[in-house]
């Protein structure tokens, strides 16, 4: 810059004069511009004054938004799950009411107004502008409409307005899937695009209604209407119709859903069925549930109180947000990991002596059966749920390879299902523990992870997702609830494709075969922990039970108590199942918050879901469902059930060895569900 | 260190209070404008004391900042200029990367308050152009014009793509005015304007859908009766029905019946026009013209090129606010987010304006001595 100064000669006097001329020229131009502006106002305010004064006087034409009809929701076969029903509501334009308190008191004589209505009204009144109409009472009865019509002249600024009310015909059955819509509140107003939500009173709050809000909502239209001095519509001049939201088809089959809910029979828990070939969710149930219709018009305080304070938490979506230790259900995944990582062959066997100690330490964990299971290979280890096999395998894998392998089945992260708010559970790893507890990893924790205990937690949807990947020969698909959309009930459905989220997890089909055979033996071999669950089913069933402790034990002592109610209060029961075992088309996961044993409590529920699915398959061979009351007796010979009865003998006669991991996976016959 | 700072601050405050360096005519004009603005807002906000109070607080803050900044000598401002310009441009880049705001990413969240870096650019832009031209031989040649053009283009582009066309226009105009005042030859100005006009189709190509929509809507308001077209029609009805003498304060039926949207912010001048009529409009425009004229007078009295250009550019940009907002409200220009200075509710623009006037006060205090 200094160089520049030297080269050029600045002439301050000249520059000052130059600036003065420029400033004057600029000011002249500005005055010209302002004069032009005033000219425009002269044109509007003088020349066209009469025209605009008249238009202002007669400014009675207002655009009124028309809310779009919300898209309907169907199950995969077209069973209506969310409907719009015409209804009427009372609306008040505060600007036109002289004395709100007196008016409400008078109006209360004509149309009964509940305290909840009034509370909601006053809340919204504070949030809206004076000339915006505020809903006062939703879903008027015919009688109320008639009575108001007669008295309407007494209430300027109050009007009956038609609208479409959301209704869930199957109510509780789909509450945790579809969720519900509810009145738009102040927080929503900040979030939503006002131009799209003009005239709309409800917005998807949870479930499909929320995650597919953009699809379901549609585009508003408007009407140009002439209003009188009270602001009441006199005449509709023009109508630009709204564009309704798209209909949605769930992949859920309402029949399977119903069967799953009935099978759970009021016991707190969840059941999820997935088609492993594409990730479509066929049923997703969380028990207990609630009536979503209560929320549509604003739930009453009393009802809400009941729902939130109920000890079994009906509002909690257990399928999505319930996190439980997976227990033995992860053993097939661990076994497959051993094969895929080249640490085991299916024939490799391990000696189960009843106790397994980490070599060189005194850190020991026990098997379910006192004295152990003898020499077991992979298939037998799955069939019997032999802890020692998996302790050892997990130790050989090491926690890093272990959690990396399990991560490929989606453990420890959200499944990506098309619903908001799923929990990610916890997949234990060195990094996770360092982050969470700032402590190093211990080998003892690795062996516990090998049997699905310790820090490990999963949600039912997560386990179903993982099972779907396993059953589907390793192809990972994110679970999907919505199968197709549709612009109109008569229009063709537009399927929503669900591409796999990555390449297959499994490289060797014969290894897959070995693991699945082990799972077939669980339900079909008389020695299996879930023997009998596949009986009478026309396709081969594969499964695995899991029983996880709800509370960690403080002592290493054997638990002598065999009372089922007592055990149920201590255990969570799992069962995972898929069929046909060769080419799986359905994978089911059942979780019971209070279940004595995985196989006996959760197993029959899973089977009932399979039965319901089979009934929906037109070309399926006949089915012989399990008799009510639990599993059929396992064959005849007392020895036939030898290991199983040994296992049950554990239950009946022997003190139990379940610490610190899982209690024994139940055998069947003596433990009716 | 801290004690020294305290002593200095106390001394500064005492000086601000006892010997304020203010230009009385300019300060009087601004106070009158602020008062008129608050009255209009009171009516437009339908007697909402909260909104008026909030606006008053902003004004007080703005005037205090104005007094404080008037103590900073122009030479200090000039020394800081490149840093301030670089800082504001950097902030604009940051906003474009991680800004937040509904629809338009204009805000930077500072934790305690949200902050619009584009407001800062309204001041740093003319400062930078003045700083650049200050040591150079004037009138500027093509090379310097090109440099200034680049200085204007970068922040204006960053703001324009936020997208905030109104502020981009204001920022670019402030820089452009400084260049104009530096004495850039008329034929060069003419050539640039012709060039810019021929670029219009290109600009059209790069506009957002809604920005094109606004221009189309201005040409044919009936085409969008729910959105901007509605704004324009109702705003014109408000202005026109005010007539020569207006409907009187607090009697804007258009605003009160909610026919006029945004009637406390961008369209508040329609409420003013409806209530005070053509007479009011003329008086208001005269007041703005007086303030602009006073700014230019201060600029002419200034001691050096930097002060002259800065003062003149700040004064002239006030015209852009008035012209664009007044034109928009009367349906002469498309709807862009430019407020009516000191009248429209909200935003930090009133504070920015007053900070700018603080610089003018300082320049005035350091004017040439007539001997």
Tokens of residue A45, six digits: 């305010």
Tokens of residue A453, six digits: 């205990």
**What is the rounded CA–CA span in Å between residue B221 and residue B228?**
7
What is residue A14's predicted lDDT score, i.e. its pLDDT? 81
- Compute the nearest-CA separation of B80 from chain A (Å): 16
**Contact, A543 vs A579, CB < 8 A?**
no
Catalogue the long-range contacts made by A487-493 (C-beta closer than 8 Å, 24 or more residues apart). A487/A246, A487/A247, A488/A244, A488/A247, A489/A72, A489/A247, A493/A249
From chain B, pick out residues whose CB is under 8 angstroms from the CB of A26. Answer: 177, 180-181, 296, 312, 316
Output the CA–CA distances (angstroms, integers) from residue A642 to A214, A415, A541, in the order listed. Answer: 58, 40, 22
Q: In the predicted model, is pLDDT for residue B64 greater than 50?
A: yes
**Contact, B309 vs B133, CB < 8 A?**
yes
Please indicate whether, in this complex, the C-beta atoms of A63 and B225 are within 8 angstroms of each other.
Answer: yes
CA angle B323, B326, B328 (to 5 degrees): 105
H or E element in which residue A248 lies: strand A247-250
- Compute the nearest-CA separation of B360 from chain A (Å): 15
- Between B137, B253, B278, which is nearest A9 by CB? B137
What is residue A651's predicted lDDT score, i.e. its pLDDT? 30
**What is the rounded CA–CA span in Å between residue A556 and residue A420?**
41
**Contact, A65 vs A222, CB < 8 A?**
yes
In which residue are the tokens 């009766």 written?
Answer: B225
Burial class (CB in 10 A: 0-12, 13-18, 19+), A151: middle
The b/e string for A186-201 (b: 16+ C-beta within 10 A; e otherwise) is: eeeeeeeeeeebbbbb
H or E element in which residue B322 lies: helix B305-329
Give SS3 for A576: strand
Give SS3 for A243: strand
Phi, psi of B114 (to 5 degrees): -100, 150
- Between B180, B230, B273, which is nearest A22 by CB? B180
Tokens of residue A664, six digits: 């024994």
**What is the rounded CA–CA span in Å between residue A262 and residue A605?**
9
**What is the rounded CA–CA span in Å between residue B305 and residue B134?**
5
Please indicate whether, in this complex, the C-beta atoms of A30 and B136 are within 8 angstroms of each other.
Answer: no
* Banded pLDDT at B1 (limits 50, 70, 90): low
What is residue B12's predicted lDDT score, i.e. its pLDDT? 72
**What is the rounded CA–CA span in Å between residue A661 and residue A654?**
18
- A276/B16: higher pLDDT: A276
CATH superfamily of A254-275+322-652: DD-peptidase/beta-lactamase superfamily (3.40.710.10)
**What is the rounded CA–CA span in Å between residue B234 and residue A59?**
9
Where would I find the beta strands (DSSP E) of A93-179? Answer: 134-137, 158-167
Best mutation target among B82, B226, B286 (most A Cβ atoms within 10 Å) is: B226
In which residue are the tokens 């009469």 written?
Answer: A50
A328 is catalytic: yes
Is the preceding peptide bond at B174 cis, omega within 30 degrees of 0? no
In which residue are the tokens 């879903």 written?
Answer: A139
Q: How far is CA A414 from the centre of its chain?
A: 11
- Between A8, A21, A41, which is nearest B330 by CB? A41
CATH for A62-250 is 3.90.1310.10
Best mutation target among B79, B132, B138 (most A Cβ atoms within 10 Å) is: B138
Sign of CA pseudo-dihedral A285, A289, A294, A299 = negative
From chain B, pick out residues whose CB is under 8 angstroms from the CB of A130. Answer: 46
Task: Give which of A648, A546, A609, A594 is closest to A288, Cα–Cα.
Answer: A594
For B215-266, the pLDDT digits (tens) are 777 677 666 655 667 778 888 888 998 998 988 888 777 666 566 767 888 8
pLDDT average, residue stretch B140-158: 91
- A670/B149: higher pLDDT: B149
Concatenating the DSSP letter of every residue in A595-658 gives -S-IIIIIHHHHHHHHHHHHHH-TTPPP--PPPTTSPPP--S-TTTTHHHHHHHHHHHTSPB--
pLDDT average, residue stretch B117-132: 92
> In chain A, which stretches have pLDDT less than 50?
1-7, 552-558, 632-673
Please indicate whether, in this complex, the C-beta atoms of A45 and B242 are within 8 angstroms of each other.
Answer: yes
Domain ranges of chain A: 2-57, 62-250, 254-275+322-652
Sequence-ordered alpha helix ranges (H) in A8-48: 12-42
**Contact, B254 vs B271, CB < 8 A?**
yes
What is residue A482's predicted lDDT score, i.e. its pLDDT? 94
**What is the rounded CA–CA span in Å between residue A476 and residue A466?**
8
Q: In the predicted model, is pLDDT for residue B325 greater than 50?
A: yes
**Contact, A528 vs A382, CB < 8 A?**
no
- Compute the nearest-CA separation of B15 from chain A (Å): 31
Mean residue pLDDT of chain B comes to: 84
From chain A, pick out residues whose CB is under 8 angstroms from the CB of B242. Answer: 45
CB neighbourhood size of B244 (10 A) = 14
H or E element in which residue A400 lies: helix A387-407
Give SS3 for B138: coil
CB neighbourhood size of B11 (10 A) = 10
Give SS3 for A430: helix
Catalytically annotated residue among A328, A545, A645, A659: A328
- Between A52, A131, A198, which is nearest B258 by CB? A131
Beta strands A482-486 and A247-250 are: antiparallel
**Contact, A550 vs A574, CB < 8 A?**
no
Among A25-39, A491-505, B124-138, B156-170, the least confident range: B156-170
- Compute the nearest-CA separation of A59 from chain B (Å): 8
Give SS3 for A375: strand
The pTM assigned to this predicted structure is 0.63
Best mutation target among A10, A14, A45, A236 (most B Cβ atoms within 10 Å) is: A45
CA angle B92, B98, B101 (to 5 degrees): 85
Output the CA–CA distances (angstroms, integers) from residue A527 to A383, A645, A667, B278, in the order listed. Answer: 7, 8, 8, 98
């Amino acid at each position: 810059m200094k160089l520049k100064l030297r080269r050029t000669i600045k002439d301050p006097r000249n520059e000052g004069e130059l600036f003065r001329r420029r400033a004057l020229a600029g000011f002249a131009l500005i005055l010209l511009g302002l004069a032009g502006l005033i000219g425009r106002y002269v044109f509007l305010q003088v020349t066209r004054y009469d025209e605009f004064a008249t238009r202002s006087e007669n400014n009675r034409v207002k655009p009124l938004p028309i809310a779009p009809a919300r898209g309907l929701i169907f199950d995969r076969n077209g069973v209506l799950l969310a409907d719009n029903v015409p209804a009427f509501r009372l609306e008040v334009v505060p600007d036109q009411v002289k004395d709100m308190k007196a008016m409400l008191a008078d109006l209360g004589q004509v149309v009964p107004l509940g305290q909840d209505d009034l509370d909601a009204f006053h809340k919204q009144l504070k949030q809206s502008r004076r000339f915006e109409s505020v809903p006062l009472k939703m879903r008027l009865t015919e009688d109320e409409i008639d009575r108001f019509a007669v008295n309407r002249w007494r209430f300027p600024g109050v009007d009956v307005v038609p609208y479409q009310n959301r209704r869930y015909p199957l109510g509780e059955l789909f509450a945790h899937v579809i969720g519900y819509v509810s009145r738009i509140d102040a927080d929503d107003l900040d979030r939503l695009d006002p131009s799209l939500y003009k005239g709309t009173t409800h917005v998807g709050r949870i479930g499909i209604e929320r995650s597919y809000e953009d699809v379901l909502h549609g585009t508003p239209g408007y009407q140009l209407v002439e209003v009188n001095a009270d602001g009441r519509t006199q005449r509709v001049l023009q109508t630009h119709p709204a564009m309704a939201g798209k209909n949605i088809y769930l992949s859920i089959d309402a029949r399977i859903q119903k069967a799953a809910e009935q099978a759970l029979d009021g016991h707190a828990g969840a059941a999820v069925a997935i088609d492993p070939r594409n990730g479509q969710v066929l049923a997703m149930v969380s028990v207990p549930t609630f009536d979503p219709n209560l929320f549509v018009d604003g739930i009453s305080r009393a009802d809400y109180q009941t729902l939130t304070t109920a000890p079994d938490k009906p509002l909690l979506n257990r399928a999505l947000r319930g996190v439980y230790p997976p227990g033995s259900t992860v053993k097939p995944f661990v076994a497959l990991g051993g094969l895929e990582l080249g640490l085991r062959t299916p024939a490799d066997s391990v000696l189960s002596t009843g106790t397994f100690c980490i070599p060189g330490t005194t850190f020991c964990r026990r098997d379910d059966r006192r004295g152990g299971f003898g020499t077991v290979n992979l298939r037998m280890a799955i069939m019997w749920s032999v802890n020692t096999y998996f302790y050892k395998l997990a130790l050989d894998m090491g926690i890093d390879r272990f959690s990396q392998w399990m991560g490929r089945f989606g453990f420890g992260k959200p499944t990506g299902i098309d619903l908001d708010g799923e929990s990610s559970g916890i997949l234990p790893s060195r990094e996770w523990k360092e982050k969470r507890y700032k402590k190093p990893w211990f080998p003892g924790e690795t062996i516990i992870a090998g049997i699905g205990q310790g820090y490990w937690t999963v949600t039912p949807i997560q386990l179903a997702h993982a099972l779907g990947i396993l059953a589907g020969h390793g192809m990972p698909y994110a679970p999907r609830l919505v199968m197709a959309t549709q612009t109109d009930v008569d229009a063709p459905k537009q399927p929503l494709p669900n591409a796999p989220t990555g390449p297959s997890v499994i490289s060797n089909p014969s290894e897959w075969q070995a693991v699945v055979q082990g799972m077939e033996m669980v339900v079909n071999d008389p020695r299996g922990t879930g023997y009998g669950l596949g009986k009478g089913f026309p396709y081969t069933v594969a499964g695995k039970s899991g029983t996880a402790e709800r509370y960690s034990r403080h002592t290493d002592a054997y638990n002598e108590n065999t009372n089922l109610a007592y055990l149920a209060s201590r255990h969570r029961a799992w069962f995972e199942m898929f069929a046909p075992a060769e080419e799986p088309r359905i994978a089911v996961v059942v979780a019971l918050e209070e279940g004595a044993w995985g196989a006996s409590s959760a197993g029959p529920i899973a089977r009932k879901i399979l039965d319901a699915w089979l009934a929906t398959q037109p070309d399926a061979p006949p089915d012989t469902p399990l008799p009510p009351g639990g599993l059929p007796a396992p064959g005849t010979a007392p020895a036939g059930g030898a290991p199983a009865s040994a296992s049950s003998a554990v239950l009946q006669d022997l003190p139990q060895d379940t610490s610190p991991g899982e209690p024994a996976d139940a055998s069947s016959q003596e433990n009716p569900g | 260190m801290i004690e020294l700072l305290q002593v200095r601050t106390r001394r500064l405050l005492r000086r601000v209070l006892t010997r304020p360096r203010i230009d009385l005519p300019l300060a009087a004009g601004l106070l009158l404008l602020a008062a008129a603005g608050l009255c209009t807002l009171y009516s437009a906000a339908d007697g909402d004391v909260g909104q008026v109070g909030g606006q008053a607080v902003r004004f007080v803050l703005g005037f205090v900042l104005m007094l404080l900044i008037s103590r900073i000598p122009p030479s200090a401002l000039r020394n800081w200029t490149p840093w301030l310009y670089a800082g504001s441009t950097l902030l604009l880049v940051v906003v474009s990367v991680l800004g937040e705001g509904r629809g338009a990413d204009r805000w930077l969240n500072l934790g305690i308050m949200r902050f619009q870096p584009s407001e800062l650019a309204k001041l740093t832009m003319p400062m930078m152009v003045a700083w650049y031209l200050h040591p150079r031989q004037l009138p500027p040649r093509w090379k310097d014009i090109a440099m200034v053009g680049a200085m204007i283009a970068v922040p204006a582009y960053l703001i324009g793509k936020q997208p905030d066309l109104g502020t981009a226009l204001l920022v670019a105009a402030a820089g452009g005015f400084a260049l104009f005042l530096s004495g850039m030859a008329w034929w060069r100005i003419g050539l640039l304007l012709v060039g810019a006009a021929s670029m219009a189709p290109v600009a059209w190509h790069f506009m957002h859908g809604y920005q094109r929509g606004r221009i189309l809507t201005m040409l044919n308001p009936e085409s969008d009766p729910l959105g901007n077209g509605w704004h324009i029609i109702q705003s014109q009805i408000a202005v026109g029905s005010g007539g020569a003498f207006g409907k009187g304060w607090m009697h804007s039926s258009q605003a009160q019946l909610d026919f006029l949207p945004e009637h406390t912010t961008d369209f508040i001048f329609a409420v003013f026009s409806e209530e005070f009529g053509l007479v009011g409009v003329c008086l208001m425009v005269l007041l703005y013209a007086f303030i602009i004229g006073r700014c230019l007078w201060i600029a002419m009295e200034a001691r050096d090129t930097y002060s002259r250009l800065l003062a003149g550019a700040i004064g002239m940009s006030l015209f852009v606010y008035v012209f664009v907002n007044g034109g928009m409200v009367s349906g002469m220009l498309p709807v862009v987010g430019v407020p009516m200075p000191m009248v429209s509710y909200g935003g930090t623009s009133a504070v920015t304006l007053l900070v700018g006037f603080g610089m003018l006060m300082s320049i005035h205090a350091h004017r040439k001595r007539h001997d």
